[in-house]
Amino acid sequence: MRQLRSVLAFLRSIEGLPIAGVLAVMYLVFLLTAPTVFSRYPIYKSFFETVPAMLICALGLTFVVTAGEMDLSFPAVVAFAGFVFAWCFKNIDSPWAPWLGFVLALGAGGLIGYINGILVARIGVPSIMATLAGQFFWYGMTILLAGGLQMDIRAIRGTPIHNIFAGELFDTIPTQAIWAALLAIFLWFILNRHRFGEAITFIGDNANVARVMGINVERTRVRLFVMNGMIAAFAGLLLTMNMNVFFPTQGQGYLLQTMAAVFIGGTSIAGGHGVIVGSFFGAYIIGSLEAGVVASRISGYWVQLVQGMVMAAVVVLNIVIEERSIAKLSSRIRHWTVSSRNSHAGPGAEPGEVFSK
């Protein structure tokens, strides 16, 4: 019994393990339902191309949710950053144009985040309101500046920046998947091992505690939104370069997907607990569900229904494997073993040992 408990405790201590398990099971199911597609590399390669932008948004949103806030504006940042980049590439005649566009796009993301942060932290607008407005405003700004038109940047293929951010490593692994993984590792350390991440977590747990313990709550919140703006801009850059085209509505499908990835990853909607690894695998689950369902030749009408079921199941799983439920479960198992032992060996069989602890 104690062994089972310590095994469970060990498994629980590995961050994101349940969600990684769900992803593995999901791919196993798809291997059975769509063997021709899921037994070959190309489908995975296409996930490595399509998931990273949304995954990166999910990493940023994990911080925001951990701090007890919400950001609805990041899809608009994905579009606006893409516009800034594409505009620079098209209109500046220099080999450095895309790099300038890259830096300006990150800066624009940071600036949008800064405005969000000021509204939330200094003026006191609830973050869901401030960023909802921001989402409309910055999509509007993007459409206005782009004249509602998309921009073809196919000429960027083969340039160094494209090879770095939308190329393929060893001709097999899309580089954006590698960037997403590196960013996930880096942000894991920021959230779990850095002063900034600890401040974010304590603020989400209880902002009053954070304040009386010497954390500058307002400044940290502003920095949080700046960081999320820059992360979303980076996602927008990867997306634009991967598609080789900017379109003013890009990113619009990300909002709900990203939130789903974060929440099935185990990050607490109440704040105070963020799971980067969970968001990482959560994004791959959300990002490959649709393709998997379609490849399984279930009618397309089923896609959303299956998505909803998987999400609900994972969220329930997250709650069930929480410590308290496990304690309850193991005490029930103990109860069964005790009663069965009593019925076999009689009441004299070291009952004290069973009930201690």
Partner 1 sequence: MVDSPAAQYALRMVNIEKYFGLVCALRNINMEVGKNEIIGLIGDNGAGKSTMVKILTGVFRPTSGELYIAGRRVDFRTYDVQHAHKYGIETVYQDKSLGEKQALWRNFFIGRQITNRFGFIDVRREKEIANEIMVNTIGFRGRGITVDSKVNKLSGGERQGVAIGRAMHFEAELIILDEPTVALSLKEVNKVINFVHGIKAGGKACIYISHSIGDVYEVSDRFVVLDRGEIVGNLTKKDVPTVKDLDDYLLEYSHGLKDKVD
| 3-state SS, one letter per residue, for 306-343 | HHHHHHHHHHHHHHHCCHHHHHHHHHHHHHHHHHHHHH
Q: 152 is written with which tokens?
A: 């073809």
Residues 231-270 that bind partner 1 (CB under 8 A): 268
Least distance (Å) from partner 1 to the CB of residue 5? Answer: 12
Nearer to partner 1, 268 or 307 (CB): 268
Cα-based angle 18, 21, 27 (whole degrees, multiple of 5): 150
Q: Shortest CA distance to 51 belongs to which of 174, 164, 157, 162?
A: 174
Q: Which of 50, 142, 176, 201 binds partner 1 (CB under 8 A)?
A: 201
- How does DSSP classify residue 96? T
Judged by CB under 8 A, which of 28, 209, 320, 329 binds partner 1? Answer: 209
Nearer residue to partner 1 within complex by CB, 47 or 202: 202
Please state the three-class secondary structure of 146-157 as a single string. CCCCCEECHHHC
211 contributes a contact to partner 1 by CB under 8 A: yes
Q: Which is nearer to partner 1, 209 or 313 (CB)?
A: 209
Least spacing, CB of residue 261 vs partner 1, in Å: 21
Nearer to partner 1, 208 or 331 (CB): 208
Supply the minimum distance, in Å, between the C-beta of residue 67 and partner 1: 13
Region from 168-176, 204-212, 296-304, 339-347 binding partner 1, contact rule CB under 8 A: 204-212
Closer to partner 1 at the Cβ: 31 or 185?
185
Write the interaction track for partner 1 spanning residues 153-192; mark x where CB under 8 A is met and - where it is not. Answer: ------------------------------------x---
Beta pairing class for 168-169 and 173-174: antiparallel
End-to-end Cα distance, the chain: 12
Spell out the residues 6+ positions from residue 19 whose beta carbon is closer than 8 angstroms to its own: 264, 265, 266, 275, 277, 278, 281, 282, 285, 314, 318
Q: CB of residue 144 vs partner 1: minimum separation in angstroms?
A: 39
Minimum CB distance to partner 1 smaller for 36 or for 208: 208
Among 65, 97, 210, 262, which residue sits at the site for partner 1 (rule: CB under 8 A)?
210
Out of 214, 346, 348, 352, name the contact with partner 1 by CB under 8 A.
Answer: 214
Q: Is the dihedral of CA 178, 183, 185, 186 positive or negative?
A: positive
> φ and ψ at 153, to 5 degrees?
-120, 40
Which of 15, 152, 168, 205 is the binder for partner 1 (CB under 8 A)? 205
What is the Cα–Cα distance from 282 to 265, expressed in whole angstroms? Answer: 5
Using the rule CB under 8 A, is 202 a contact of partner 1?
yes
Selected from 36, 94, 158, 212, the binder of partner 1 by CB under 8 A is 212
Q: Out of 213, 256, 313, 349, name the contact with partner 1 by CB under 8 A.
A: 213
CA-based nearest residue to 279, from 27, 11, 13, 16: 16
76 residue type, one letter: A
If the CB atoms of residues 96 and 186 are measured against partner 1, the closer one turns out to be 186
Residue 273, interface with partner 1 (CB under 8 A)?
A: yes
Distance of CA 46 to the CA centre of its chain: 18
- Member of 78, 215, 241, 276 binding partner 1 (CB under 8 A): 215
Q: How far apart are CA 99 and CA 89, in angstroms?
A: 9
Radius of gyration of the chain (CA): 24
Query: Cβ closer to partner 1: 24 or 213?
Result: 213
| Shorter beta-carbon distance to partner 1: residue 154 or 357 | 357
Contacts with partner 1, residue ranges (CB under 8 A) = 189, 193-196, 198, 201-202, 205-206, 208-216, 268, 272-273
